[in-house]
Amino acid sequence: MDKHMARRGFQVLVGLLLVSMGLIACDGSSGNDSTSEPNPTNEGQALRELLKLPDHFEIPAIPDYNPLTQEKITLGHRLFYDQRLSGNQTQACASCHLQELAFSDGEITPTGSTGHVLVRNSQGLGNAVYHSTLTWSNNGFVDVEDQLKVPILSDNPIELGVIDSVQAEVLARFDSDALYQRLFQEAFPDSESGATINKIVFALASFMRTLVSGDSPYDRFLNGDSSALTEQQVRGLRLFNSEKMECFHCHSGINFSVSYRDSRTDAGSITFPFFNNGLYNVDGEGSYPAVDQGLYDLTLDPRDRGLFRPQSLRNVAVTAPYMHDGSLATLREVIRHYARGGTLTESGPNAGDGRLSPLKSGLIRGFAVTEQEIEDLIAFLEALTDETFINNPDFSNPFEE
């Protein structure tokens, strides 16, 4: 897996590692890269206000071609909840991304608007834009703009199903609605052409950037409130950051993922970490189920079988079931998976022992764990649930107001 880390990735990893280890001291210092300063410019301040960013979060990467404005955020927020954005008007983005579940959906894998069952679990969207790449495993989706065309336009599998033959009809729905005419005009004042797929993507991407989750008990603890975590949660945090469990090597930093970037990360130094964490070993040679072999399906390099992005663990207690295919039902099962050093699938077409996978990351070695330690670690992961985020009216369904 390490070949996917650019050389600077190593330095970043070490930096994050030190930061993580610093947390063991429980001194309440920030989980950010300690050398960073908040963007001091006025423009930076304006962006922070627009995003309502907590002080300990950096400004997410925003591509020059899609400057952030309140008007785009407002349009994107409405579109996110609007079923008219699916070919047959039965689904919206919010059908698979529910706010009360931190924008995941509680399903193993969701079903698209025309009945296609997808092969991947719906991701929570809190802080998703801070990952260096989007989705469970794709090294080409660097900006959220790159990725958003998939749920809207894809015909295999169909999600929202705005396929070529219905595109004009879908756009006409927005062009014939007086409110949307105004929202599109305000969001894209230099264009007279009404709704377009690009404008929809740009507005949704702008809304995605506002989905920042930074007010969990863990954040309050980071910011100096030592009573924000229970003693049990502090024990869990120590376990998480221990060499025994190794979690922090892949789930580190402010977003609990080494797949991280923000507006300060220059394009040349973005790292693209993907790991095989031993979830499957179908053929004894490290293969994953043929429906989804992760990065391999894009690169066709056999060593890339089972490579997935280390998912952010923010709000993880409300985003069950877990992993790219939703195959682990609970956090307890996840911890058992790591403690065992890989998952054993006893029977069926995907039978095999992930622990013995030759492609598994060297960091997934397995460890002895007591019932008490499992409880402690779960308690810590629950401290990443941000009630402010999952109840924030800025993100809720505007059609129910």
- Per CB under 6 A, 160 contacts ligand HEC: yes
Return the HEC string of the chain: CHHHCCHHHHHHHHHHHHHHHHHHCCCCCCCCCCCCCCCCCHHHHHHHHHHCCCCCCCCCCCCCCCCCCHHHHHHHHHHHCCHHHCCCCCCCHHHHCEHHHCCECCCCCCECCCCCECCCCCCCCCCHHHCCCCCCCCCCCCCHHHHHHHHHHCECCECCCCCHHHHHHHHHHHHCCHHHHHHHHHHCCCCCCCCCHHHHHHHHHHHHHHCCCCCCHHHHHHCCCCCCCCHHHHHHHHHHCCCCCCHHHHCCCCCCCCCCCCCCCCHHHCCCCCECCCCCCCCCCCCCCCCCCECHHHHCCHHHCCEECCCCCCCHHHCCCECCCCCECCHHHHHHHHHHCCCEECCCCCCEEHHHCCCCCCCCCCCCCCHHHHHHHHHHHHCCCCHHHHHCHHHCCHHHC
Positions 170 through 209 that interact with ligand HEC (CB under 6 A): 204, 208
CB of 88 to ligand HEC, least distance (A): 12
By beta-carbon proximity to ligand HEC, the closer residue of 140 and 224 is 140
- Per CB under 6 A, 131 contacts ligand HEC: yes
By beta-carbon proximity to ligand HEC, the closer residue of 78 and 324 is 324
By beta-carbon proximity to ligand HEC, the closer residue of 40 and 285 is 285
By beta-carbon proximity to ligand HEC, the closer residue of 144 and 282 is 144
By beta-carbon proximity to ligand HEC, the closer residue of 125 and 270 is 125
- Per CB under 6 A, 384 contacts ligand HEC: no
CB of 257 to ligand HEC, least distance (A): 8
By beta-carbon proximity to ligand HEC, the closer residue of 134 and 187 is 134
- The residues that bridge with 353 in the sheet, in sequence order, are 344
Size of the site for ligand HEC (CB under 6 A): 51
Among positions 32, 122, 206, 345, the unique one binding ligand HEC when judged by CB under 6 A? 122
Question: Interacting stretch for ligand HEC, rule CB under 6 A, among 14-22, 39-47, 275-283, 391-399?
Answer: 275-283
Whose CA is closest to 255, among 60, 4, 104?
60
CB of 307 to ligand HEC, least distance (A): 8
By beta-carbon proximity to ligand HEC, the closer residue of 30 and 121 is 121
Q: Is the peptide bond before 157 cis (omega within 30 degrees of 0)?
A: yes
- Per CB under 6 A, 364 contacts ligand HEC: yes
CB of 249 to ligand HEC, least distance (A): 5
- Per CB under 6 A, 97 contacts ligand HEC: yes
Distance, CA of 40 to chain centre = 27
106: alpha, beta or left? (left if phi > 0; alpha if psi -120 to 50): left
- The residues that bridge with 111 in the sheet, in sequence order, are 117
Binding mask 234-263 for ligand HEC (x = CB under 6 A): -----------xxx-xxx------------
CB of 64 to ligand HEC, least distance (A): 20
Give the list of residues 6+ apart from residue 280 with CB closer than 8 angstroms, or none: 287, 288, 289, 306, 343, 345, 350, 352, 354, 357
By beta-carbon proximity to ligand HEC, the closer residue of 30 and 311 is 311
CB of 230 to ligand HEC, least distance (A): 18
Question: Interacting stretch for ligand HEC, rule CB under 6 A, among 53-61, 115-123, 228-236, 346-354?
Answer: 115-123
- Per CB under 6 A, 295 contacts ligand HEC: no
Binding mask 57-96 for ligand HEC (x = CB under 6 A): -----------------------x----------x-x-xx
Chain positions contacting ligand HEC, by CB under 6 A: 80, 91, 93, 95-97, 110, 112, 118, 120, 122-123, 125, 128, 131, 134-136, 144, 147-148, 151-152, 159-160, 204, 208, 245-247, 249-251, 275, 277, 279, 308, 310-311, 313, 316, 319, 322-324, 334-335, 338, 361, 363-364
